[in-house]
Chains A and B, each alone.
Chain A
Amino acid sequence: GESVGLHLPTLSVQEGDNSIINCAYSNSASDYFIWYKQESGKGPQFIIDIRSNMDKRQGQRVTVLLNKTVKHLSLQIAATQPGDSAVYFCAEKWSGGSYIPTFGRGTSLIVHP
């Protein structure tokens, strides 16, 4: 299940399940979105990106969905593996503004074998 609050939101899944990590972004003008994965003790690592003229993009075992109407982004991970355990961040950029991404809060994904 998922828990929110003062602590980092956490999603716990069983190995082999599909995972869905959600993100609400803040700037309706944002036109480029990125998902990063941060494993314990490491820096964030790029997973997948999507431009605002798309609503879906697929990678290897990952799919990003974008709903601009409600400013919502999701990352779907198929057949989740223990190696997917990490903190996942969404980030938004606006081509009319800074090239620096604004990071979301992060969601901790825990995959149980």
Chain B
Amino acid sequence: DTAVSQTPKYLVTQMGNDKSIKCEQNLGHDTMYWYKQDSKKFLKIMFSYNNKELIINETVPNRFSPKSPDKAHLNLHINSLELGDSAVYFCASSQERSVQETQYFGPGTRLLVL
């Protein structure tokens, strides 16, 4: 069984479009995250949600809007896509917000903006 799943795996779209990426975890975790990985493999946190509540919102354009309908889901909606948004987006989850908690990552969504 997949612990953290994301859809779609690949997303190719034109500049200016709006798109969504979905994430689901079946681990019963309280905390979920979105990360962006650039072409140099650098991983940067974007958002963190705990029990459907936004906890961390790093410096991310407001074109990016996360939404957590329930504890097991954290979706990412992106408006007016730009070329620089091309990256791999990873969803992750952890049991709780503590230093020792391990994060479990999804397989990633490869976004290409043309």
Contacts and interface: CB of A to CB of B under 8 A. Distances in A.
Contacts, number: 54
Interface residues of A, number: 26
A94 B44 CA distance: 17
B90 A43 contact: yes
Interface stretch (A19-27, A69-77, A95-103): A95-103
Contacts of A6: 40
Nearest to A97: B99
Contact of A46 (B48, B103, B108): B103
B33 to A, nearest CB: 7
A68 B63 CA distance: 40
Interface in A4-48: 6-8, 31-32, 34, 38, 41-46
Interface of A: 6-8, 31-32, 34, 38, 41-46, 49, 87, 89, 93-95, 98-101, 103, 105-106
17 contacts: A7-B40, A31-B99, A41-B108, A43-B105, A43-B108, A44-B105, A46-B103, A49-B100, A49-B102, A99-B101, A100-B33, A100-B45, A100-B48, A103-B43, A105-B41, A106-B42, A106-B43
